[in-house]
Chain A
Amino acid sequence: MLCDQCLKNAATVHMTTFVNGQVKTVHLCSQCAAKKKGSVAIPWFSFNDFFSAFYDEEEGSDVVCEGCGTTLANFTKEGRLGCARCYETFKSSLMPILKSIHMNTRHTGKRPGEAVVVEPGREAALSEVEQRKEQLKKKLREAVAVENYEEAARLRDEIALLEKEGG
């Protein structure tokens, strides 16, 4: 397939954009894609574009997930995984994406079937804590302004204690 832009080189980048409700795919060579990237105005943020931005070249795009037949090219184009096994199959490509979306690559939440204990009604108590913290912070600023450092230290400790309790 030739590049849509220069019609000379082989197209290696396939960009899917979603503009005004229309899905549009353009096929570009790496040079034209590099030029285009700086100038593309994305009207609303699309994760599909976002994912394909990670892959300029079709490197490894023929890797196929044995669980569902999804290829890496499918994933970068559609931004969707096909099954649970895809997460293993495309792991090396996925990790940088996860890092950039979540700033994290490790699950810390619950496991299947586990119960998470949160106390209903704590919202109200917490908002009181928040309000109290705000008051103390205000007093702290005032204390610092009048150079009452003894009082400021006391207030700072009280705020720290509240922050610890607030979880």
Chain B
Amino acid sequence: MLSGANMLAWLTDNAPECDVVVSTRIRLARNLADIPFPARIRRMEDIEAVHSRARECLTKSPTFTYERLSDLTELDKRALVEGHVISSDLARSKYGGLITSADQSLSVMIMEEDHYRLQGLGAGMSLFATYNLVDKLDQMLASEVNYAFSDELGFLTSCPTNVGTGMRASLMLHLPALSAVKGIPRISQMIGKMGMTVRGAFGEGSTAAGAFYQISNQVTLGVTEKEILMHLLSIANKVIDFERNARKELYSNMGMALEDKIWRAVGTLKYARRISDAEAQKLISDVAFGVSLGIVTGITSGQLYRIMMNARPAILASASGPQQAQDRDAVRADMLRQAFS
């Protein structure tokens, strides 16, 4: 069930604002009232209780399956990290668990930094719809387990940065034009002042491969869930406007030079024999830029985002099988050639 078949089915075509917004993610941090938080948990029976209470409650619904992280292969775990289903911390954890819906759009990480991290993923700008799903999951769990909660401080979390709503809402944005005009530092600064953060969605360090960025809320206490969503929405809408204007501006200034760059990306994806992960992201980013300007037709941004995710190293390797792992860049180029032919 962890094979790539169903994975990413949630990343649909024609999602709202999909020319700029790749996906929406909402996470809720929750803990049990009567058991120490994961960093302080000592007794095996406590760890078992954290697992079993969520498992017993949620797997009553046939939608959800439960897995122990220790039962997964390294490759499975890495693919889940790349698909943003689990964190790399959970992938490393000895006592972690995972509950997922069939398409992995809803999940619960067990024994990460908090006992439970509930997560919802949605295509494009879908803050409200995704929140509604996660909130239902939260209600399901709350009907059977006793959360650590205080009237004054809300949901109690391992790290004080998450206390209150325990909620982190984030949007993955594709900002090729703002990156090209070196506008990201200014946007980050502006967003930072409004209690949100921006960081590269892929790759480590400052350079985001393919101009994909994640923006999310920082403050979780003293604001309602709805306020967090509304605030993120209004800031994201501003960034989307900036990006769309920058795209038009860039096209009117560069004209043919931009078209050339985009068609070269298409050409490479169609015919190259070896493509690295970072190059694939860059090329697909260029093509997605071309689609939004109407230069490239016959493919949607949703399709492009799915292809990009499927080109990630571990997701690619779990789909293509271990026998082909020797030359992953060649396998990736094969997959991309098929996708773009």
Q: Does A60 contact B (CB under 8 A)?
A: no
In the bound complex, residues from chain A placing their C-beta under 8 Å from that of B301 are none
Contact A107 B221 (CB under 8 A): yes
Which one of B36-44, B54-62, B89-97 is at the A interface?
A: B36-44
Q: Does B132 contact A (CB under 8 A)?
A: yes
Q: Mark B181-201, 1 if CB is under 8 A from A, else 0.
A: 000000000000000000000
Contact A107 B237 (CB under 8 A): no
From B139, B160, B165, A109 is in contact (CB under 8 Å) with B165
Using CB atoms, name the residue of chain B closest to A82: B40
Using CB atoms, name the residue of chain A closest to B135: A116
Contact A67 B159 (CB under 8 A): no
Contact A104 B222 (CB under 8 A): yes
Contact B221 A105 (CB under 8 A): yes
Contact B37 A119 (CB under 8 A): no
Contact A123 B40 (CB under 8 A): no
Using CB atoms, name the residue of chain A closest to B149: A112
Q: Does B315 contact A (CB under 8 A)?
A: no
Q: Does A97 contact B (CB under 8 A)?
A: yes
Q: How distant is B265 from chain A, measured CB to nearest CB, in Å? A: 29
Q: How distant is B43 from chain A, measured CB to nearest CB, in Å? A: 11
From B126, B156, B165, B240, A87 is in contact (CB under 8 Å) with B156
Contact A103 B40 (CB under 8 A): no
Contact B229 A108 (CB under 8 A): no
Task: Point out which of A68, A81, A107, A118 has the most chain B C-beta atoms below 10 A from its C-beta.
Answer: A107
Q: Which of B6-38 contact A (CB under 8 A)?
A: 16-17, 31, 33-37
From A94, A115, A120, A121, B160 is in contact (CB under 8 Å) with A94
From B135, B150, B224, B234, A108 is in contact (CB under 8 Å) with B224
Q: Does B293 contact A (CB under 8 A)?
A: no
In the bound complex, residues from chain A placing their C-beta under 8 Å from that of B142 are 112-113
Q: Does A41 contact B (CB under 8 A)?
A: no
Contact B128 A119 (CB under 8 A): yes
Task: Point out which of B40, B148, B161, B240 has the most chain A C-beta atoms below 10 A from its C-beta.
Answer: B40
How many Cβ-Cβ contacts under 8 Å join chain A to chain B? 148
Q: Does A52 contact B (CB under 8 A)?
A: no
When chains A and B are docked, how far (Å) is the Cα of A18 from the Cα of B57? 39
Q: Does A124 contact B (CB under 8 A)?
A: yes
Q: How distant is A133 from chain B, measured CB to nearest CB, in Å? A: 10
Given contacts A105-B222, A106-B222, contact A118 B128 (CB under 8 A): yes
In the bound complex, residues from chain B placing their C-beta under 8 Å from that of A119 are 128
Q: Which of B250-280 contact A (CB under 8 A)?
A: none
Q: How distant is A137 from chain B, measured CB to nearest CB, in Å? A: 13
In the bound complex, residues from chain B placing their C-beta under 8 Å from that of A87 are 150, 153, 156, 163
Q: Mark B123-144, 1 if CB is under 8 A from A, else 0.
A: 0011111011001000100110
Contact A113 B139 (CB under 8 A): yes
Contact B159 A80 (CB under 8 A): yes
Q: Does B83 contact A (CB under 8 A)?
A: no
Given contacts A84-B31, A118-B229, contact A109 B154 (CB under 8 A): yes
Contact A102 B219 (CB under 8 A): yes
Task: Point out which of B31, B153, B229, B234 has the most chain A C-beta atoms below 10 A from its C-beta.
Answer: B153
Q: Does A110 contact B (CB under 8 A)?
A: yes
Given contacts A102-B220, A104-B221, A107-B222, contact A81 B160 (CB under 8 A): yes
- Can you pick out 20 interface pairs between chain A and chain B where the beta carbons lie within 8 Å of each other? A80-B39, A81-B156, A82-B36, A82-B39, A87-B153, A87-B163, A101-B160, A105-B153, A105-B222, A107-B152, A107-B221, A108-B223, A109-B223, A110-B224, A113-B143, A115-B135, A118-B226, A120-B126, A130-B234, A130-B237
Q: Which 7 A-B pairs have the closest CB atoms?
A: A104-B222, A107-B154, A84-B148, A82-B40, A120-B129, A102-B221, A109-B165
